[in-house]
Amino acid sequence: MKNGTLNIEKKNNLIKIGESIYTFYRDGFRGMVLGKKLWAIILIKLFVMFVVLKLFFFPNYLNTKFATNEEKTNYVFEQITRNASKSQLK
């Protein structure tokens, strides 16, 4: 029985720690003035980098060039092993 109560106490302590961390950050973000604008700029830049640039500059090369998964796998394997063997020769 003692082991069970220790586990419950540990869980309660973890929950209290998690709640205190959450309130710490929540209150910190509420009090920000300049920080909110900076976080908005950071999130917009990340969106542009990962979504917009991927759509326009990094097309899905394997799907346009190969029909089956086996062909894609063979191509990737050849590219990886070819590059690895070149780097070992240097």
Number of domains in the chain: 2
Q: What is the DSSP letter of 31?
A: T
Torsion angle of C-alpha atoms 6, 7, 13, 19, degrees rounded to 10: -160
Instruction: Determine the pLDDT at residue 6.
Output: 65
Positions of E strands within 16-89:
none
Cβ neighbours for 29, distance < 8 A, ≥ 6 positions apart: 35, 36
pLDDT by residue for the chain (90 residues), tens only, comes to 556 666 788 888 889 999 999 999 888 888 888 888 998 999 999 998 888 888 877 778 788 888 899 999 999 899 888 876 666 655
Instruction: Determine the pLDDT at residue 61.
Output: 79
Torsion angle of C-alpha atoms 43, 26, 18, 44, degrees rounded to 10: 0
Instruction: Clarify whether residues 67 and 46 are in a common domain.
Output: no
Q: What is the pTM of this model?
A: 0.45
Instruction: Clarify whether residues 18 and 43 are in a common domain.
Output: yes
Instruction: Clarify whether residues 41 and 75 are in a common domain.
Output: no
Torsion angle of C-alpha atoms 21, 22, 23, 29, degrees rounded to 10: 110
Instruction: Determine the pLDDT at residue 62.
Output: 82
Instruction: Clarify whether residues 31 and 48 are in a common domain.
Output: yes
Instruction: Clarify whether residues 24 and 66 are in a common domain.
Output: no
Instruction: Clarify whether residues 49 and 88 are in a common domain.
Output: no
| Residue carrying structure tokens 């020769």 | 89
Q: Tell me the residue range of the domain where 50 lies.
A: 1-58
Instruction: Clarify whether residues 45 and 74 are in a common domain.
Output: no
Instruction: Clarify whether residues 48 and 26 are in a common domain.
Output: yes
- The amino acid at residue 66 is F
